[in-house]
Amino acid sequence: MQEWLRERMAPKPNHPFLSTFVYLKQVCTAVGKKNICGQHENTLLQKIPEGESMTLDKIRTHGLLKPHLFVSEKGLGMKLPSNKLTVRDIANTLGFNYPINVMDVESQTELIDWTMEDLVNYFETREVGTDKILNQISLEFTGTPLHEAVRSPSIVRELDWIDNVWPKSLKKNNGLHPKVQYYCLTSTAGCFTDFHVDFGGTSVWYHVLSGRKSFIIIPPTDKNLEKYEEWLCAPNQDSTYFPNLIDGEILKIDIQAGQTLLIPSGFIHGVYTPVDSIVFGGNFLHSFDIEKQIQIHCLETRTRVPKTFRFPYFVQLMFYAGSHFLKAMREDYENDDNGFNLSQHEMNGIPHLISALSQWSSSGGDAHRPGSICHASLHAAKMVGLLKPEFMISELKKYHDALTEKINVSSRRIKITIPTTSQKSKVPKIGLKNPLIKKEIYEQPNYVTESYNTTLSSKLAPLLKKAKNVKTNRKSHHFEEEEWVPYVSKKKNTFVSKETTKPRNILHISHWNKHVSTTTPGGEKKLSDTVCKKIIVRKRGTCAKTVKERLEGKFLK
């Protein structure tokens, strides 16, 4: 039965596959509107020039939603062997008796009981056009001598749940963890892998050490994934070319030697090898697309993908991710400042994780057997000081709701800094021609901060800008806060910080109240014409402006 399932679920070749790869430039131009191989860049791809890298801050802001092609390994923090590396060199490192699996490209079936010695002999003695085309894409070398020569991109190590969420004690004591982080792929010219989604919805890093690879990539929209699932189970899958079923954009990427491709979760892709190639890559789960990862895991369950082709310890890792998020949300909720450890992309994924953990909490087996679902759920709960997984799940939901409310309140909070009237010191009068400016100014008053919770209207929201430095007419000052109130001078638009370290240009702020807050039926406070502060920002030679006037647009250009 297992052999039948493996044969049934293995990707099958089809006649238009190779020819379509050869002529895919024209196909993609027609179907996908734009093609990165031509003058235009496809909207599905983010191309990173040499010297630039991807940072965690960028992912926290924008997420990881489209493939990234790095034209050079410089700046990625990778460690790689020489591009002169051969299959024989790999065999010398791992040992010629090291067991491997090889795929017959024609039938897309695995050949078992192969060793590195067999692979070396095949590469060095094969006759092109007569011998079978074999593809080796499953050599995972974590913990081997080859691992010492290869290190994944630094951004992958920052994101990978195996490095950041899986308990280090399990790794250290018995080496128990998902071993999917480092693969070596050795492919001869003419190899191809039929369309698939990487197991568990994992993202993939893929570096071409030597040779060249061609990818056809299809975005994981709900419609495309639905068609992919139907195609997997269709009786005529062998004779159906999957991209013909897609109505939207299709991306073709040619990856040259020295380039690195990062494929996000859920992207459907097929791979063709035009010349002999050696590739290093790996799979990883992360916090910025939890929904898609769980969605692919469920798709694999529905289509009965054999266990050997699925992400190992997937459910267990999700429980450890739950304990990780619970710790982070506790810290964010108890933190008094406005900084949050979790980004909006992570917060959006947590409800999907909670729902999945609720369904898996009753699964498992021996609670004392390391690696079992039951053991992982209990272990994850104890890591956050709880006795049962059900308590951890309820705490996750409670803190997620509370933190979401805190983030919403924080986004409506206006911080301003005002001088204390008891500590103002007068200085000699100076000649100011503008009659609206008082003849008395305050020299370096002490400042205190007041916070106001208010619902920002559509007029006020665009006025709040972000910056780190503001240039005055004297010199540039760096301020601690990143929120600014716009101030319009006669000469040019400038910005005055709501909380500054050197507020020498803000002379006085007085109070002005109008109306009181009302409450909507839903319990949300609504400040329609709200309690306002009349912020009189006086500068030499300029007029006073108020928040109300700026809201009415009187002084905006």
The pLDDT assigned to 350 comes to 96
Report the distance separating Cα 460 and Cα 551, nearest Å: 6
The reply to whether 72 and 140 lie within a common domain is yes
pTM exceeds 0.85:
no
The reply to whether 91 and 207 lie within a common domain is yes
The pLDDT assigned to 132 comes to 86
Pairing of the two strands 68-70 and 46-48 = parallel
Residue 343 lies in a domain: yes
Residue 210 confidence class, pLDDT cut points 50, 70, 90:
very high
Which DSSP category does 87 fall into? Answer: H
Residue 460 lies in a domain: no
Q: Dihedral of CA 116/121/123/127: which sign?
A: negative
500 has a pLDDT exceeding 60: no
The reply to whether 174 and 243 lie within a common domain is yes
CATH number where 352 lies: 1.20.58
Residue 98 lies in a domain: yes
- In this structure, the chain runs to a length of 557
The answer to whether 122 and 26 are in contact (CB under 8 A) is no
The two tokens of residue 268 are: 């459907």
The reply to whether 264 and 394 lie within a common domain is no
The pLDDT assigned to 200 comes to 96
The pLDDT assigned to 486 comes to 41
CATH number where 3 lies: 2.60.120.650
Count of domains forming the chain: 2
Q: What share of the chain is helix, strand, coil (3-state, %, to 5)?
A: 35, 20, 45
284, 303, 322 - which closes a domain = 303
The reply to whether 208 and 355 lie within a common domain is no
Report the distance separating Cα 479 and Cα 498, nearest Å: 10
293 has a pLDDT exceeding 90: yes
Residue 329 lies in a domain: yes
Residue 498 lies in a domain: no
The reply to whether 342 and 196 lie within a common domain is no
Residue 435 lies in a domain: no
The reply to whether 160 and 82 lie within a common domain is yes
409, 434, 464 - which closes a domain = 409
The reply to whether 199 and 335 lie within a common domain is no
Residue 556 lies in a domain: no
Residue 429 lies in a domain: no
Report the distance separating Cα 53 and Cα 428, nearest Å: 55
The reply to whether 227 and 298 lie within a common domain is yes
- Residue spans of beta strands (DSSP E) within 116-202: 134-140, 183-187, 192-196
The pLDDT assigned to 21 comes to 46
Give 280's strand partners: 184, 207
pLDDT tens digits for 353-373?
999 999 898 765 677 788 888
409, 439, 456 - which closes a domain = 409
Supply the range of the domain harboring residue 341. 314-409
The reply to whether 54 and 139 lie within a common domain is yes
Residue 430 confidence class, pLDDT cut points 50, 70, 90:
very low
The pLDDT assigned to 341 comes to 83
Q: In what order do the strands lie in the sheet with 493-497?
A: 465-466, 483-488, 493-497
Residue 27 confidence class, pLDDT cut points 50, 70, 90:
very low
H/E element, 274: strand 268-284
Residues 6+ away with beta carbon under 8 Å from 112: 101
pLDDT tens digits for 59-90?
999 999 999 999 999 989 999 999 999 999 99
- Residue spans of beta strands (DSSP E) within 6-92: 46-48, 68-70
The reply to whether 52 and 200 lie within a common domain is yes
The reply to whether 47 and 165 lie within a common domain is yes
